[in-house]
Structure 1
Amino acid sequence: MPARAAAPPPPDTRRRGFRRAGRRAAATTGARHCAAPNRTALHRTALPPERSEIAVSSSGTTVDDSCLDALQELKSRREINTVVYRLDEPLATVVVESKSNLTHEEMLESLPANEPRFVLYDLHFAAADGARRRDLVMIFWIPDGALPAHKLAYASTHRVLRDALDGIQVDVRATTLSALAYDELASQAV
């Protein structure tokens, strides 16, 4: 029987080991893998849950306490059914723009044509079995006409705001008003 060739030596794992560990860490924490691993990015996304409740995005955007108060008011009182959030002018903090009791059509009319917004809407609808239901819907309104810098700032803030506001049953991202039609929202809530 002919002699077998010796197995090649194991590859240098010092450099590749970090890449593999980075991919595993990215898969478990939700971080995206980059061609060149970035310890800071992986570390930032792998923060413990108590740190993420501080509501600070990687871009430095924070959620104002009034946003949480408006959510509690929406949940506990019937005087309001809609809370509109926006980023303040330096795009650094999420603040409450308005709290009101609006019909669905009025809520759609209140959305600006060229500026992104976050909206919490208390949606009342009838389920397929005829039962009356009520779901808290978070709408991420990001119209096509918005400035690219605003789109980017709002997109990086969306998850932070979503995590800070508890009790949201439906999360909708919309670029046109037709995507926010009452029937569309009700079908996503079921």
Structure 2
Amino acid sequence: MANSASGMAVNDECKLKFLELKTKRNYRFIVFKIEERIQQVTVERVGLPEESYDDFCSSLPAEECRYAVYDFDFVTHENCHKSKIFFIAWSPDSSRVRSKMLYASSKDRFKRELDGIQVELQATDPSEMSFDIIKARAI
């Protein structure tokens, strides 16, 4: 279960919650945290379907790395309702170097565990994942 590159395991709850987001749409977003002490990715927070993109952004810590998935609903130019699941690697400049390296080395392995990611975004600053950027990447 551990990743040979980083030694990181993925808690089963991460996959279960993601599956619920993808298939049942029980959540708007999920924030994942690496528990360094036990070398495992865990679910830190889930956002209810009625929560907004601002709620999602405010759930990411200003000075710590996280992974997150966000289910983005939008309307196409042809007036079709669609949604895309974004994977966001949040790595603020102010976070610890060790933490940034750990999240970077574990990202691809963790992302592979979440089958159904449609768009990937890396952000070091809130402006790099503004609502306009998310919207532009979705369409």
TM-score > 0.5, shorter chain as reference: yes
Distance 1:55 1:128 in 2: 43
Identity of aligned residues (%): 32
Could you tell me whether the CA contact under 8 Å between 1:125 and 1:133 is conserved in 2?
Answer: yes
1:179 aligned to which of 107, 112, 128: 128
Larger radius of gyration: 1
1:98 aligned to which of 45, 70, 78: 45
Question: Following superposition, which runs of at least 4 residues in structure 1 exceed 6 angstroms of deviation?
Answer: none
Give the CA deviation at 1:55. 5.8
- Which is strand-richer, 1 or 2? 2
1:165 aligned to which of 84, 107, 114: 114
Deviation string 1:23-48 (CA, Å, 9 cap, x unpaired) is xxxxxxxxxxxxxxxxxxxxxxxxxx
TM-score of the two chains, using structure 2 as the length reference: 0.91
Give the CA deviation at 1:99. 1.4
What is the count of residue pairs matched by the alignment?
A: 137
Q: Residues 57 and 108 from structure 1, CA distance in 2 versus in 1: closer, same or farther, beyond 3 angstroms?
A: farther
2:67 aligned to which of 90, 96, 118: 118
Q: Residues 165 and 122 from structure 1, CA distance in 2 versus in 1: closer, same or farther, beyond 3 angstroms?
A: same
Give the 5 Å matches for 1:26-175.
Answer: 54=1, 56-90=3-37, 92-101=39-48, 102-175=51-124
Q: Residues 59 and 79 from structure 1, CA distance in 2 versus in 1: closer, same or farther, beyond 3 angstroms?
A: closer
- Between 1 and 2, higher relative CO (CA 8 Å, sep ≥ 6) is seen in 2
Distance 1:118 1:186 in 2: 19
Secondary structure in structure 2 of the residue aligned to 1:155: helix
Distance 1:183 1:129 in 2: 19
- Which is helix-richer, 1 or 2? 1
Q: CA RMSD in A?
A: 1.5
Could you tell me whether the CA contact under 8 Å between 1:141 and 1:173 is conserved in 2?
Answer: yes
Q: Which residue of structure 2 aligns with residue 35 of structure 1?
A: none
Distance 1:57 1:133 in 2: 37
TM-score of the two chains, using structure 1 as the length reference: 0.68
Amino acid paired to 1:128: H
Secondary structure in structure 1 of the residue aligned to 2:121: strand
Task: Please list every run of 5 or more consecutive structure 1 residues that lacks an aligned counterpart in the other structure.
Answer: 1-53
Task: Please list every run of 5 or more consecutive structure 2 residues that lacks an aligned counterpart in the other structure.
Answer: none
Could you tell me whether the CA contact under 8 Å between 1:113 and 1:143 is conserved in 2?
Answer: yes
Give the CA deviation at 1:166. 0.3
